[in-house]
Structure formats: C-alpha cells, structure tokens
Structure 1
Amino acid sequence: MDNLDDVAETVLEARYLQQDEAGNVVETPAELFERVAHDLARAESQWGGDPDAVEERFHDALSSLEFLPNSPTLMNAGTELQQLAACFVLPVPDSIDGIFSALKSTALIHQSGGGTGFTFGDVRPSGDVVMKTGGVASGPVSFMRIFDAATEQIKQGGRRRGANMGILPAHHPDVDDFVTAKEEEGALRNFNVSVATDEAFWDAYEAGEQYPLINPRTGEAVDAVDPEAVLDSCARMAWGVGDPGVLFLDRINAENPTPEVGRIRATNPCGETPLLPYEACVLGSVNLSKMTDGDAVDWDKLDRTVRTGVRLLDNAITRSDFPLEAIEVRMAANRKVGLGVMGFHDALVDLEIPYDSEKAVDFADELMAFISESARDASRELADEREPFPNWEESTHDEPVRNATTTSIAPTGTISLIAGCSASIEPVYGVAYEKHVLGGLDQVNDRFVDVAKERGFYSEELMDRVRGEDSIQDVEEIPEDVRELFHTAHDVPPARHVEIQAAFQEHVDNAVSKTVNISHDADVADVRDVFELARDLGVKGITVFRSGSRREQILGEDPLKEECASECDWVPLEAEMDGGSDGSNAESD
C-alpha cells in the first residue's frame, strides 16, 4: 500500500500482521485490511443485508486510512481469537473468592488484547476485621499490587502489554494510601490510577468542611477528612509521577444512558469509556487529517465516514467473541460503541487555526457536535434496520437507537501511527523527533515539511535544528504564522488543554481521554488549578502530566510520557513543599 509510511509499516509488521508459528509475518498490510473488512461485513447477513457491498465500503474506509477501529479489531478480526473490543470493566468484590475470580478474568481479557478497569471501592480497608479468620484486612492497594504483578506476566495477545485502571472513591478510608501508592519508583507500573470524586466531595470542598470516610463493609463513617487535603495530595502525586487522575463520578452518572441497569463506578485504562461491571466498548476513530479539502472541512465526507464507522463498530460487537459469558450478556444488552477522532491538530493546520486559540475551541465544539449528530443518526438508522439495543426502553434515550453510546475520544496512540496523523485531539509533540517505541521510530511532521517547502524556508539544516526540540517558537527563520500553527504540547497552556477537552466532551456520550501537559518547572499549585478548572468546565475526568515527571508510563507510545528519561534532573516528591519549588527541578543540559 503506497499510502503507508515507514512508521506505519514498522508498527503493522511488529504488532498487527498475522504470523505463523515460527513468528514469521505471513500477511501484508493490504491483506490485513481485506481480512478485517471481510470479517466485519459478514455480520450483515444476519439482518438480510449485502455483505459484499458493505465489505467494499468498510475496505475503502480502512485502506484509505480514513477510519480505523481499535487495535484488537485490527489484530483479531477474521482470526481464531476474534476478540474485538479494547475496553472492559470488571467488578472487584470484597472477598478472596471474588477478588481472585476478578484476577482470573483480567488475565483472560489481557490475553485477548483488551485492557481492564476496576473500582476497588468495595474492598474493606486495611486494618478492618476479617470475620471468617479473625484476621486483619490488608486493604485495596495490597490487592492492586497482585493485579499489577499478574499483568506484568501477561502479554496481551502476544502483542500488547496489559493495562489497567485502578479507581478508589474519595470517601474510602484507604484513599490516602491509594493516592500515594505510586510514590515508590516502579510501583503499580501496569496501572493508571484515579480518585473518584462526587458532588458530596466538591460541596464539602467548596464549603471548607470535612467529609466522611465510609467503610464499604459496614456502610458506616469511620473518620472524616479535609477534602482540600485530599486534593492537595492528589496534586502533589500527579506533579511527581503523573498519577492519580481525578474522576467526576456525578458528571459521569448524570449522562449514564442506562441508570436502571446500574451506576457507573469505573472506566477503562485511559478513562474515555466509563462502563458498568462486565461491560465492554468497541472503539474506532475518524482520521480528521483526511476530512479537509483545502482550507475547509469536507462535511459530506465526514458524515459518510462517521456513518460507516458506526456500522463497522456495531458489526464488530456482533462478530466479537468476548472472553467471559457475563460480558457477552452485557454487551448484547447495551451494545456500546465509541466512535472518536484522531488527526485533530492536522486538521487545524489545514484550516490555519492555531491549536492555542479560541478559534480552535470553537472549532472543536462545532466539529464534535456534527460528528455526534451523525453518529446518533447512524445508530437510529441501524435500530430501524436491525433492532434497538435491548435495554433502550429502560434507558435515557427518547427514541430507539442501536447503541447505548456512540461516541468516545480515545488516545489513538498506535492507530494514529498507522494512519500517519496526529494522535487523538492532542497537539503534536514536535515537528521532528524519535518516538521511543519499537526500537525508535523517526517521526517527521509531513504538514510542516510541506508548508516549509511551499513557503521557501525548508532546508535540511533547519530540520536538523528542530529535530528533538519540543518547541519551534524560538526558531526565527520559521515565519511566525507557521510557528503558531505548530504549537506543541509544551507550548499550549494547561487551561487551553482543558478547554479543548471540555469542548469535545460537550458532545461525547462516553468521555474524552486527554493529557493536560504542564512544564517541568510547574508546581503543585498548577496541578491543583487544572483539577479545579476541569471540574468547572464539566469534563468527566482529568489527567495531568508534568514534563519529565516519571521515567516510564503504561501508555508508553506517548512520547510526552517518555521524555526526560535521561535529560532531566529528578526531584524527590518531598522537595516540592507547599506548592513551591526550590529550583532544583530545572532541566539539565
């Protein structure tokens, strides 16, 4: 395929193309897209459709890189494994049997290519009584370490490393231990973690009052804490190691489409899909870099691509073999899909809109409103053609739709490499750099090169100069208007990151996975400001990453979370006192 660059071919060969028993690649990229399109189109015959016509439609979208589904679909569709979902949430009951049953289910999901999210909020706190033995409970963090160790030993489907999201409610007695669980280097390395807050937490925070800690075993208050102290602790740890994030469960459940079925308490590993226990989500992303025509959006093409994507994802649910019967049942009942986007920054460049601008926020709002309406209309059409999801009469939807949710913004860390576009709704990391995965991938922003050549300032010397730099704003030979179009994640102020996220979230059924990047010399107070702004702007969860704040990250395909592995001075958490810095965290030469 001549539309794949060297990076895409490397990624596909390493992780996606089928291999024989000896590990030899036995499939071409063209054959991969044919395999996936053919397999997913077979679902059409169940409702009297035309599989051949739909296969051609799917193949056109995939092979043109205009739409790509999540990695498990690309890897497994049309194979013996046939597990096509990326995201799962599992319950963790307060019993040894229940906890280790969840651990077994986690292993099966990771082996099949999926990631898992959990709330550990039902597990009794450390020091609590164990009635059967008269012993003392070790608490949720101790069991998270067991899940982490097991994940370390399992490589997903032979190609993807396991990833987890661990969540604890802010009212759990062990919340302090949970917040600081990653203080030790390398602890819980296969987990992202988030503290789940709700309206009661924020009411107490705003009132300057304490709020109760509740023992989940008894339902009784056992202590009271200052919510400001909890938020400060979250900010201090996020400053130091990038975790925890903060979830807003009241916001999540206000938009839960099936409240009669259950309350949502957890998300997938990157936070973009809040899910009920035993629920999964099949994800896919429209490549916005291919939805522009000159300096305008091709809205008709975008509409067609969204509709094709929703059909493809719904077919993926039908075609998927889920690893647990309970997941099969829940997926059949709710049929959640999550159509999102990648290449947002690329589209902004085409439209000559700086990422750090009010115009970018307005465009994000307009764009996602359009995509959301197209996706929901496609789901309504599928409900007419097939049937609505079985739980829809108990749902918040006022008319029949095929899918309880249709939209979600995923990180697209790997599929954006295949598509050759900027990741998700993130700003670019740089215009030329080495991405630290698969032995190192040379990334050059084709749009920057094209603009440089068109405007007459391109040179090999310039490209050598900007290679590896996290900003081009001080490179005077690049015209100012071009520099503004290529704001990197380091150039964009934290508030703008949150505003972009909130603009998308306004029109997304599920949630938005986005990293709010702050500079290496930012302080703890800056992190807390982001948490508060995220609450004010109505997002469902927030993640803050301070440049160079830790050496490794389970989402290692994001170069922002790999940088400074050797270039930065490392500051112990205790050196950051009262939100202030002693200056020792400056980057070294």
Structure 2
Amino acid sequence: MAAHTSASSTVVMPPIAAAPESLLSLQVARRNGTLSPFDPAKISVAISKAFIAVEGTGATASRRIHDVVESMTAQIVAALLRRSGTGQVLHIEDIQDQVELALMRSGEHKVARAYVLYREERAQQRRELAPAMAPASTLGYSVKLPDGRTEPLDEQRMVEQVTAACRGLEGVSVDAVMTEVRRNLYDGIQLHELGLAQTMSARALVEKDPGYAYVSARLLLGNLRAEAVGFILPAARVHSQSQSSVSYGEYFPEYVRKAVAMGFLDKELATFDVARLAAALKPERDGNFQFLGLQTLYDRYFLHKDGVRFELPQAFFMRVAMGLALREIDREGRAIEFYELLSSFDFMCSTPTLFNAGTLRPQLSSCFLTTIADDLDGIFKAIKDNALLAKYSGGLGNDWTPVRGLGAYIAGTNGQSQGVVPFLKVANDTAIAVNQGGKRKGAVCGYLETWHIDVEEFLDLRKNTGDDRRRTHDMNTANWVPDLFLERVEADGPWTLFSPDETPDLHDLCGKAFAERYAQYEAKAELGEMKVSRKVRALDLWRKMLTMLFETGHPWITFKDPCNLRSPQQHVGVVHSSNLCTEITLNTNDREIAVCNLGSVNLANHVTPEGIDETRLQRTVKTAMRMLDNVIDINFYTVPEARYSNLRHRPVGMGIMGYQDALYALRIPFASEAAVRFADRSMELVSFHAISASVDLAAERGRYATYEGSLWSKGILPIDSIEILQQNRTHTLDLDRSSTLDWNGLRQRVMSVGMRNSNTLAIAPTATISNICGVTQSIEPTYQNLFVKSNMSGDFTVVNAALVRDLKSLGLWDEVMISDLKYFDGSLGNIERVPEEMKRLYATSFEIEPTWLIQAAGRRQKWIDQAQSLNLYLAQPSGKKLDALYREAWHAGLKTTYYLRSSSATHVEKSTMQRTDGKLNAVAVAASTSDYAGPKQCAIDDPGCEACQ
C-alpha cells in the first residue's frame, strides 16, 4: 500500500496525464539511500490500495475510487512540486506524508486510518529487521566549520548526543530520532545546522510520544550551550562537532562579569558572592524543560548580543533571583531561595519580571490601570503614559468613562464633542507603535461604563465593517457593567444613557448609592434637564452587548459593583476598570496609576495522587509573596503616578497555573462537583497562606501606607466581603460560603499586625510562563489533547502527556489513535475504543459545559481580593445560551469574565505533524467561521495579551 513502491497491483488505475517537465528531474530517496525517478503512478497505486482495503472492489466502489484517486493524485503531485521545486530530491517518507495528508483533508477518515496503520506495520517490520541491516550510510558527508574549513561528518558523535538526550525518558527511541536526522543531512552541512537537524528531528516526533518534547529541548540546550559558552568563554568556543564540557561553575561568574561590563546587568549583581551562587545552581534542572518552554526562553527571554544568546537557563533563573534580592540583608541566601522556587517550576514570576530583573531598567510590573481625564491635556497625557508604560512590557487597562460623549458641549470652543471613539483610535494605534522592542506587541484594553452615551459605538469598535476611522482592530475593549443595569435587564426595564460631563459622580458611585443617584439623573432627563441623554430598552442593549461579544470577541463583560464593593481599598478610592486580562481590580484617579506585580504558583507541582501537599504549598506561597513584595521597591517606574500608587498601596497579584494538570493527578474530571470542591479548597489554601505571608512581611517591614480604614483593618477578609456585595444585591448570591481553615485566627493577626500589601491574589492567564514550566495554563481546561500551539516563537505540537500515559497503560496508544485524535480535533468523545471514564477525565474545553467553569470560578472568587481571567467556552453558542451564561456569572458574584470562545467548524488540519516546520502543513488551528474566536485557537495564546503572564 505504501506510496512509491514497486509492488504489482491488480487495481485498474486512472490515466495519468503526461508528467510535467518539472517532474522529470525529481528523484526519490529510498530508505536504503538509493535514488529512483519520481513516478506519480505509484502514488495512485498506493491510494487505490488504501481505498480497496476499506471499500472493496465492487463496481460502484471502483468508479468512485477511480474518480477520487485521479483528483487526489493531481493534488499530491502539485503539493510536492510546491514544496520541492525542480531538480530536488524527495524522500519517500515525505511523499507518504502528503498521501496521508490528502486522505485526511478529503474527509476519507477510514481510508486514512487504514493507510496510517499500514505505514506503522511496515515501520515495525523495518525496526525488527534493523539489527540485521546496515545503517543508512552517511560516509563521504562533510561538515563546514565556522572558519570555512571542512571535516568529515562524525555520525557516531551525533548518536552519542541523541542517546544522552533520550536518557531516562520512556517511550522515546534513539533510532527514530537518528532516522529523522539522517534524512536532513547533506554534504557540506553547516556546523550550526547539525544541532538544528537533531533538535528539529526530535521535535517532529512529539506527536508520537510527549517524551520527544524533552529530547528536542535537551538537544536545543546543546546548541545553546555552544552559543553561550562560546560567547562568554571564547577560549572554550567549540570549532568542531564536539560540544563544550564547561560547567556552570566556570561559566556563571564570567557570565555575570561580562554581562555587567557590556551594560546588560546592574553592576550591583557583580557585588554578590557569585561563587556561592554558582555553587547553588542545579544544572540537572536544564533537563526539565520541554521544547516549547526552552524555545520560548531562547527566542524572547535570554539575554543576547547581536543575535547571540549568552544566557543559559540556570543563569537566567539566578539572574532573576539576584535582581529580586538586591535589597535583602542576606542577598545571597534570599537569591538562592528565590532561585530554588523558579528553577523547580514551583512558582514563576510574570514575563516583565523575567525580562527585566537584574537589568539596568528593572521594570518588573505586569499591569497598569489608568483613568482618562476629560480634557485634551489629560487625554494625550494618558496616551503618552500608555506608550511609556508599554515600552518596558506593561499591559494596560484604560478607564475611558470620564471622557464626554458625542454631542456634548465643549465650552472652550463653543462646539460639540466627537465623543470618546476618535481618542480610542489613537490609543489603539499607539499600542501598535510601541511593541516593547520587538519582544511582543503593545497591549491595551479600554473600559467604558454601560450608561455612557457612546456605549453603542463602543460596542462596534472591533467590527470589520463601517467607518474604519471609528474602529480599533487591535485594541481590546470591555464593558464596565453596574448591577443596576442587569437588574433592569432582568426586569425588562428602560435604561438611560448619559454624557459623563453632566453626570460626573456616577463614575465614582457603586451599589445602592449608584442606583439612587442614577434614578435622580433619569428623573432630570424625563424633565428635559439633561442636554445629552437617550433612553433605550435595557434588554435590547444587553442583547447587542452579547451579539458583539459573539461576533467580534469584544467588549468583554466585567462587573463594576463586585469589583468595588469587595475591594479592600474602597476607603481611599474607586476601581474604575480592570486591566488587559481582567484579573486586576485596583483604584485609579488623576494622581494614581494602579500597578500590579504578578506571579503564579504551579499547582501541578503541589499535588500528588493523595491530594494537595499543603506543607510545600505554604512554603512556596510564603517565598513567592516576598519576591512579589520586593518587586515594588526595586521596580523601575516610567511615570511618577505609577510609583506613587504602588508604594502607597503595595498590591501584588499571586495566581495559579497547572490547575488542569492537578485535576489529572487527582483523577478528577473538570466537569464535576469534585472539581468545584477542589477549586474551592486549593484557592482557600493559597489565599490563607498569601494573606498570612503578607502579615509576616508587615511584622518585618511595616504595614502598607493606606492600611488604616481598609477592609483588612476592620477584620473583613475576602471571604467576609461577600456579605457587603449581598447587601447591595436584590437577589441572593448563588455562592457557597463554607470554609475549612482557621480564618478567625488569621483575621485577628491581620487586625493586630496589619498587612504589607493592599491586595494579594489575582489569577492571570499565564500563557507564556505556563509554557516555560510545561503545564496547563492558569485555570483553563485542556484546549485539545493534540494540537499545535502558536505564539511569537512559532508553532509547537502539544500532546496531553497524562492522556498518553493512560492510553499506553491500556495498550491504546498507537498510530491509529494519533490519527483519530487529529481527525476528531483532539477529542476522545467519538473514539469508541476509549473507556467512558477516560473520556470524562480528558474532556476538552468545548466538551465541558461552561457552567462548570463558572461554578469553579465562583468558589475561587470568594477567596480572591482581586479577580481572575476567566475564559468561557461554548461549543454551539446561541443567544439564549449566552444570556444564561453571563447572567449566571453575575449571580455567582464573579467580578470579571474574559474571552468568549466558540468552536469552529474545523479546528485541526487533518494531516501528519511529522517533518514539519511549524507552518500550516502541520496540524494547525483553523480560523473560526466568526471573528469572535480571536487569534489561533485561544486568545490567551495571543502575544498581545502576554503582558499579564
């Protein structure tokens, strides 16, 4: 059945058109190294055999096979020509990959399965015969060295390197990697291409076994070591196919000295006891990276000069740790403590901290929230502030509600305002212009309250139709929704829109106070005493909000009153918006730009099959809180309002990631009451220890400046603030308020000792740092069990390692299972031989009813003093479902929601992922049929929102 074999066949073949001249020079490389002319007829034979194996040889089947094979052969030949050009050599495996791809794309799943199974059987036969066969010969190949010299290719050395990379890993094969490597070699190959050939060959096998993600990372590390050591220690530079044996102990002191001398690192780092720190490094932890994580670090995080990366992974973690320990009394001891946390993946700082810690510009904060003033000076100062804050990796949330609406009077010119939209366009373009030095796009989210006269235009900002001057295609947007509006929606009542220059106090009011004042303004509008106002049906506006969310993905739905009524800092200000990713809820005004400093606990590292390792979790949270608090004092502030706010309130936002991995370890399906209870219990523990750690820091370093009068000072903890929200609601909150820990004891400690930080918890998306740690993102369910993940470092095959382990234990992990997962978009639901229990455990995001996400989020929210980035997934969205979903989120007391995700008609390209360069010939996420799905498979993979990671 294999394509391009010489086996005879009784199949009646369709006529093959005369081969185009471009095919005449094509050669096929066979597995034994010989070459033969390319013959399209052999492809037709292979396809026909695959069809006959499934459909038989009846007359009806023969006619269909004849027509399908002719068309499919032409497609495959055209694809091979596009890929190879003229005068090139095709490998037989590449041809067979294209046959498999064509069968999958055409929807001939049963035929494709038969073909895949046949290929696997033939591969197994070759493996069994391999000891008796001579290996593919590469004799005569030469390697071109950097100085222009050549030397014979040392294949044995390559085998040793691949063997070392595979050591200790189950399910991986040195022979499989070397087979791929040999296919990518050629005479005169560049020295640096040898390492790349090994790395990419292992990467191509990730779909076969997740272990290859570690193999490819280890091979990449070999390339990085040669690059970094050669730069830092030129005498050790490798000029041949051998790899440097220089140790971290030799490398690290010289790395620090040289990086300081070149102006990359703060000179204070050179005053540490560098030898002591070097001795504390754990080189073996380099082997814990998966390819996606290490490649991401290589591309975007490691220090480099003129494109040469000179920072090795453990040096990177220690550099960050040193940067965070600069002001500690025992700097070395704390740096080692911080390093242990980072390098073990127990906790990971956010991207800005990883980028900038220890450098000359240590802008370590993740999120900045601003309120825009209602005058030109204020508006353009805010846009300038956006640029300055974004320059060093900050993500932005802008509160635009104070800006007067369309048609409002302007006294200075005796004219009328053009409203908020033209300024949003400028903010959008500024975010694109300031791209953080090419590391990632600038990212901003604009917020507007639902009573603003421009709200309907605001809803249309992300549409692809209409006046492009009133569109913001790159800027995120979010509705800042008061409770009163949703009460009117549920009562099918009216809603009045105002311009904020006539209703300035609405911006700062919430709960019952807002409702009373709003009713007064409505009465004035009824009497004709408001210059700019408009009455609409609340339900109609709500439907338009949901429609735009469905069609464009924006504006997100966030809830003003829970954010304010449960804020510990309501005595000194108002929360006017959230941030870029909807997890930060801090006060803003004309003097204060709110700042938040983020990091995430890797929950997967703190769970065993027996449950949560509470001792380890407590230790991690305690150290992590100290790291986050240190950020505030070390931070480089680009605008004075940010420094003023951050030093007054000292907020931090500790979150979690690896939540889905933790559920796998506990054998708990995401869609279950047990998962909801685990969300409750795990967040209670994190909250308890975070608050306790902040109390410890207050005892050591002092309370934050605005502690007195806060909810903390009154003994009102996050679990207690739910009652304040309930008192301002007309319905009963759908929320369990139970607890298990000694909150009374902690409450007394908070009141007697104080808090070091005004805020402690916020769950960010963790798109990038979870990649680094090799765990699932944030609180997300598994997107798909097999897919390609896209970010600024490229496209990466991702396989659910936990699932693969379980399938192996049942003898179900084989080529056909891989084919089935591709065909069914990474879902087990339609694969009959998989047990139902496993289908429930490994259900993917669109197979889980979104109510389970809201229930789990509600349980977490009761412990969190800020908010959480909560994506919602709907497999088959409808207006009714969307309405019910977002009302449920509101009734559960959630503060914010994030992206709405909906499955497209086809998620995964039906093809093989082997031997790909990460482009669309790999398994890739197809574009959705609507714009709402955002970039690629999930907007938390959008580099534009990674400022919160």
TM-score by length of 2: 0.57
Q: Is residue 683 of structure 2 the alignment partner of residue 373 of structure 1? A: no
Q: CA shift at 1:175, angstroms?
A: 0.9
Q: Per-residue deviation at 1:569?
A: 3.9
Alignment of 1:433-512 (within 5 A): 433-437=787-791, 438-467=793-822, 469-512=825-868
Q: Which residue of 443, 450, 464 corresponds with 1:163?
A: 443
State the Cα distance separating 1:97 from its structure 2 match: 1.0
Q: Deviations over 1:299-344 (max 9, x none)?
A: 1111111111111111111211111111111100111001110000
Does the alignment pair 1:15 with 2:300?
yes
1:419 and 2:699 matched: no
SS at structure 2 position matched to 1:162 = coil
Question: In the alignment, which residue of structure 1 is the partner of 2:641?
Answer: 326
Measured against aligned partners, the alpha-carbon deviations of 1:118-146 in whole angstroms (never above 9, x if no partner) come to 11111111122222123321111221111
Greater Cα radius of gyration, structure 1 or 2: 2
Q: How does 1:556-575 map to 2 (within 5 A)?
A: 566=926, 568-570=928-930
The answer to whether structure 1 residue 4 and structure 2 residue 284 are counterparts is no
CA separation of 1:14/1:137 partners in 2, compared to 1, >3 Å: closer, same or farther? same
In structure 2, C-alpha distance between the alignment counterparts of 1:158 and 1:319, rounded to whole Å: 24
Could you say which residue in structure 2 is the equivalent of 1:534?
889
Cα drift, residue 100 of structure 1: 0.6
List per-residue Cα deviations over 1:99-124 (Å, max 9, x = no partner). Answer: 11000000011111001101111111
- Aligned pairs for 1:201-220 (under 5 A) are 201-219=485-503
Matches of 2:414 and 2:577, distance apart in 1: 31
Deviations 1:512-560 (A, max 9, x none): 10100112x3212211211101111110012352425799xxxxxxxxx
Give the Cα separation in 1 of the matches to 2:708 and 2:766. 33
Q: How many angstroms apart in 2 are the aligned matches of 1:333 and 1:568?
A: 45
In the alignment, which of 497, 517, 542 is matched to residue 231 of structure 1? 542
Structure 1 gap segments, 5+ residues each: 552-562, 574-589
Calculate the aligned-residue CA RMSD, in Å: 2.1
Secondary structure (helix, strand or coil) at the match of 2:308 reads coil
Q: 1:534 to 1:550 in 2, by over 3 A?
A: farther
Corresponding residue SS for 1:2: helix
1:513 pairs with 2:828: no
C-alpha contact 2:390 2:436 (8 A) present in aligned 1: yes
Alignment of 1:17-36 (within 5 A): 17-20=302-305, 22-36=306-320
The residue type paired with residue 24 of structure 1 is: V
How far, CA to CA, are the matches of 2:647 and 2:773 in structure 1? Answer: 30
Are the equivalent residues in 2 in contact too, given 1:125–1:140 (CA < 8 A)?
A: yes
- SS of residue paired to 1:273: coil
Distance 1:237 1:387 in 2: 47
| CA-to-aligned-CA distance 1:244-295 (integer Å, 9 cap, x gap) | 2111111110111111221101111010001222011001101111112234
- The question of whether the paired residues in 2 share the 8 Å contact of 1:235 and 1:527 is answered with yes
Give 1:558's aligned residue: none
Q: How far apart, in 1, do the equivalents of 2:702 and 2:810 lie?
A: 54
Deviation per residue, 1:340-372 (Å, 9 max, x gap): 100000000000100011110111011101110
Shifted more, 151-160 versus 284-293: the winner is 151-160
> Paired residue for 2:335?
55
Moved more, 237-246 or 130-139: 130-139
- Number of paired residues? 556
Answer yes or no: is 1:79 the counterpart of 2:359. yes
Name whichever of 286-295 and 244-253 sits farther off: 286-295
Structure having the larger proportion of residues in helix: 2
Higher relative CO (Cα under 8 Å, sequence separation at least 6) belongs to 1
Change in Cα spacing, 1:157 to 1:337, as seen in structure 2 (3 Å) is: farther
Verify the 8 A CA contact 1:435 1:441 in the aligned structure 2: yes
2:558 alignment partner in structure 1:
247
For the 8 Å contact 1:470–1:490, the answer to whether it is kept is: no
Corresponding residue number in structure 2 for 1:119 = 399
Corresponding residue number in structure 1 for 2:429: 149
Specify the code of the residue in structure 2 equivalent to 1:406: T
Amino acid at match of 2:541: V
Distance 1:453 1:571, change over 3 A: closer
Q: What is the Cα deviation at residue 571 of structure 1?
A: 8.7
Q: Deviations over 1:7-37 (max 9, x none)?
A: 10111011111121x2322211211101011
Go from structure 1 to structure 2 and tell me whether the alpha carbon gap of 1:514 and 1:464 turns closer, same or farther (over 3 Å shift).
Answer: same
Say which SS state the counterpart of residue 103 (structure 1) adopts.
Answer: helix
- Which residue number corresponds to residue 576 of structure 1? none
**Which secondary structure state, in structure 1, belongs to the residue aligned with residue 798 of structure 2?**
strand
* Residue equivalent to 1:555: none
| Partner residue, 1:273 | 584
Partner of 2:664: 349
Distance 2:656 2:836 in 1: 28
**Amino acid of the structure 1 residue aligned with 2:618:** D
Task: Give 1:258's aligned residue.
Answer: 569
User: Is the deviation greater in 404-413 or in 288-297?
Assistant: 288-297
Question: 1:401-434 CA distances to partner (integer Å, 9 max, x unpaired)?
Answer: 1000111110001110001000000001111211
Query: Match for 1:389: what amino acid?
Result: Y
CA-CA distance at 1:180 after TM superposition: 1.9
Residues 337, 407 of structure 1: 8 Å contact kept: yes
How many angstroms apart in 2 are the aligned matches of 1:55 and 1:550? 50
Counterpart check, 1:307 vs 2:613 = no
Name the SS of the counterpart of 1:275 in structure 2: coil
Contact kept? 2:904, 2:929, Cα under 8 Å: no
Residues 407, 295 of structure 1: alpha-carbon distance in 2 compared, 3 angstrom cutoff = same
* 2:291 counterpart letter in structure 1: D
What is the alpha-carbon distance in structure 2 between the residues aligned to residue 215 and residue 431 of structure 1?
49
Deviation at 1:203, TM superposition (A): 2.9
- Deviation of 1:383 (Å): 0.2
Contact 1:162 1:190 (C-alpha < 8 Å) held by counterparts: no
- Take 1:567 and 1:241, find their aligned partners in 2: how far apart are those partners? 13
Residues 546 and 60 of structure 1: CA distance in aligned 2, closer, same or farther (over 3 Å)? closer
Q: Which secondary structure state, in structure 1, belongs to the residue aligned with residue 866 of structure 2? A: coil
The aligned amino acid for 1:4 is F
Aligned to 1:390: 705
The partner residue of 1:89 within 369, 374, 391 is 369
Amino acid at match of 1:426: E
Give the Cα–Cα distance (whole angstroms) in 1 for the partners of residues 438 and 840 of structure 2: 42
Which runs of 5 or more residues in structure 2 are unaligned? 1-285, 504-520, 526-532, 714-750, 907-922, 934-949
Contact 1:295 1:352 in 2 (8 A): no
SS of match in other structure, 1:127: strand
Q: Partner amino acid for 2:553?
A: G
Matched, 1:39 2:395: no
Partner of 1:584: none
| Residues 527, 544 of structure 1: 8 Å contact kept | no
Specify the alignment match of 2:880 in structure 1.
Answer: 525
Q: Give a deviation string over 1:195-227, Cα, whole Å, max 9, x none.
A: 111132233223332132222112265222222
Contact (CA 8 Å) 2:653, 2:761: kept in 1 or not? yes
